[in-house]
A and B are shown apart, each in its own frame.
Chain A
Amino acid sequence: MSDTNITKSSRRALLKSTALGVGAITTGAFSATFSKTARAASADGEKMGVAFIQYVAHTVPAAWSKGIEEVLGSQPNIEYQLLDGQAKAEVQVSLMDTLINKGTRVIFLQPVDSVALAPSIARAKREGIAVITLNIDATEPHAAHIEMSHYYGAKDIAKVMGEKMGGKGKVAILNAPPGIIIRDQREQGFIDGLKEYHPDIEIVANQVADWSRKKAQDVFTTIMASNPDVTGVYGINDSMALGAVDVAKQKGTLDKMTIFGNDGEKDALASIEAGELTGTQYTDVYQQGRYAASVATVLVTGAVSARDFEKQGHLLMPYIIVTADNVSSITPEQRW
């Protein structure tokens, strides 16, 4: 894009009335606002903005946001804002534009699409704004990426799941929509895990269920119709796995099924305790939010510019594979 050629900061210092068609009518009245715009360029003692653009309202981003707030809330000079991407790339891109214009110092982003948000991340970087992605990486390198260790987690799920299934049988994957890196990582981890530990288990279905419990119920019902001998299900997130649990319960086949989710949300842990869901990869998502916020507090000072990063920071969160055997080890305050 051609806008790399010129540094934007210089031309943004002051808005001239000529820039606005509407402004022509009331030019005089706007003079007060001009000075405000100029001030925003550099101000001392001003609150520094940090914002989080979530994918869509869901347990995981809600827990991150809580963890983030815990850390940032103790810092009086930081103002934190949670924004909803409504599961739409166009909404997230527009929000990125608005935050860039606002001069937000650090943006946490859970991209709806790893490619579609890349130009926005590049733009933020040019403006010196640090972008930290949570769980879903983007194709454009940025300040840092903090994830639940998708590949290794999914590989471990395959291992434990295969053991529960006795090393044989047919499994279905309830998958995320394409275009997001997390999908590839978890899918690949699971496939590699089965290949390595349980080569006799066959993946017979791999379908998109849009992260949603409701959608997963429909998708899994269809899968069961065409593959009645499926005994294992891997949901790329807990919501989709719980959707499969709903269907199996309704059909009365739950005791024959081995169903694994991913993430470790409160409902999934409760379902494991109730003997329904077999297991999941648990990550302390509050903690993940706190880590992200700690990184942000360093970046927000501006002493390290987003433009200085040659290589993207990468943090894989510790995790455990939770089943009925160890679910009680997760304390109430770690449940999200």
Chain B
Amino acid sequence: MAFFKIPNLVIILLTTVIFTIFAFTADRFLTLANIENILTGYSFLAIIAIGQSLTIMARGIDLSVGSTVALAAMVLFDATMIFELPGVFAILIALVAATAAGALNGLLIVYLRLQPFVATLATLAAYRGIVYAISGRQLYPELPTKAVTDPWIRWLGDFFDVERALGLGDFISLPWIPISFFILLIYAIAIGLLLGRTRWGLNLRTYGGSPEAAHLAGLKVNRLVISVYALCGFSAGLAGIILVGRFTTATEALGSGMELTAITAAVIGGTRLQGGIGGVTGPVLGAFLLGIILIGLTLLEISQFYQQILTGGILIAAIGYDRLIEKRKAV
């Protein structure tokens, strides 16, 4: 099971070290509530990061994920609030919309031969435009201040009380696990299997390692690339519906700037920007490492402006580290 293996030990070590430092320095860091906050606040990001890492593995990038998050959220909002569809259908439609948005990115890249950076930069703007255009909150004056009440959707933002479910409440205290974390687990396992156990996963690695070789080997490269971006869109869609569950509404600006955080998480998770190498555990750990750092710094009352600088710094450090390893290997 190569794709559940630790991508590199450094990230595990780094996460442990940073977690330990905060545990000792930041008041209220090592509490159940904080563990819950980290899980709730970053599970959805980990899901986006998994999708993002797939596009990076295919030597691409998806800058439109933030807008796709909003698109899925707004489609879900409209479906349940305007058309009053049952939650399950509304969720399905939202996921289909996000997957289609991702697939369109792939189509643009494959058939118009656009650079992934350019294609998804264009759709970043376009999808955000669609969100504003279809926003039920702009079209119907009574909707902006109404909350989504559908139980299916609300469930996505809910928590699972592990200790009560296991009947262990009298013995130990466990954090309440957000449903989004379970969705992340299931999704990570599914993508891990897809990468490690299927022809598709092998093809993706081959293509990422050398697109020319993949072409010569007769792989259906176009189909592969489109499917990768579709899956990335689906990931963003999952995140979008989770956020609607949590916020009980969809905001037009939802997810703006999230592409940077997702790329950062994927890269610190050991996804190589040159393609070919990556997995699911890396991006997931990367997302939670970011969460630990940002929440830890907030608890230490360090200004958020420094936190943003730090996020950029971490990205540079992760890429720099990756390059350094490359260079050593080359020598």
Contact = CB atoms under 8 A, between A and B. Distances in A.
A88 B248 contact: no
Contacts of A36: 27, 30
Interface stretch (B18-26, B55-63, B197-205): B18-26
Contacts of A15: 30-32, 173
B295 interface: yes
A130 to B, nearest CB: 18
Contacts of B93: none
Contacts of B146: 115, 139
Contacts of A33: 23-24, 30
A98 B23 CA distance: 15
B125 to A, nearest CB: 14
A226 interface: no
A214 to B, nearest CB: 16
A178 interface: yes
A121 to B, nearest CB: 11
A16 interface: yes
A178 B135 contact: yes
A6 interface: yes
A14 B247 contact: no
A97 B295 CA distance: 10
A178 B161 contact: no
Contacts of B254: 89-90
B248 A116 contact: yes
A16 B173 contact: yes
A28 to B, nearest CB: 12
Contacts of B27: 36, 40, 102
A37 interface: yes
Interface in A86-113: 86-90, 93-95, 97-98, 100-103, 112-113
A83 B304 contact: yes
Contacts of B298: 83, 95, 98
A205 to B, nearest CB: 14
Interface in A195-232: 208
Contacts of A208: 138
Question: Would you list the 4 A-B pairs with minimal beta carbon distance, nearest first?
Answer: A116-B247, A115-B249, A101-B33, A178-B144
Contacts of B255: 90
Contacts of A94: 37, 41, 295
Interface in B28-63: 28, 30-37, 40-41
Contacts of B32: 11-12, 15, 19
B312 interface: no
Interface residues of A, number: 59
A19 B235 CA distance: 28
B45 to A, nearest CB: 9
A274 interface: no
A303 interface: no
B256 interface: yes
A52 B10 CA distance: 37
A30 B23 contact: yes
Nearest to B23: A33
Interface string A19-60: 110100110011011101100100000000000000000000
A172 interface: no
Interface string A162-180: 0000000000000001111
Interface of A: 1-3, 6, 8, 11-16, 18-20, 22, 25-26, 29-30, 32-34, 36-37, 40, 81, 83-84, 86-90, 93-95, 97-98, 100-103, 112-119, 139, 177-181, 183-184, 208
A119 B157 contact: yes
Contacts, number: 156
Given A83-B304, A179-B144, A18 B253 contact: no
Contact of A1 (B41, B158, B243, B305): B158
Interface residues of B, number: 57
Contacts of B161: 2-3, 6
Contacts of B34: 98, 101
A16 B304 contact: no
Nearest to A51: B301
Contacts of A25: 16
B30 A90 contact: no
Contacts of A1: 154, 157-159
Given A1-B158, A97-B40, 7 more contacts: A2-B159, A36-B30, A101-B299, A115-B145, A116-B251, A139-B146, A184-B145
B331 to A, nearest CB: 34
Contacts of A102: 27-28, 299
Contacts of A112: 251
B242 to A, nearest CB: 11
A32 B24 contact: yes
Given A12-B33, A83-B298, A19 B173 contact: yes
Contacts of A11: 32, 163, 169, 173
Given A16-B172, A90-B243, A178 B252 contact: yes
A115 B299 CA distance: 26
A181 B144 CA distance: 9
Given A1-B154, A115-B147, A179-B145, A19 B35 contact: yes
B172 A18 contact: yes
Nearest to A140: B147
A1 B156 CA distance: 11
Interface in B2-26: 15-16, 19-20, 23-24
B37 A20 contact: no
B76 to A, nearest CB: 14
B145 A37 contact: no
Given A37-B28, A101-B31, A14 B173 contact: yes
Nearest to B291: A94
A172 B66 CA distance: 31
B247 A115 contact: yes
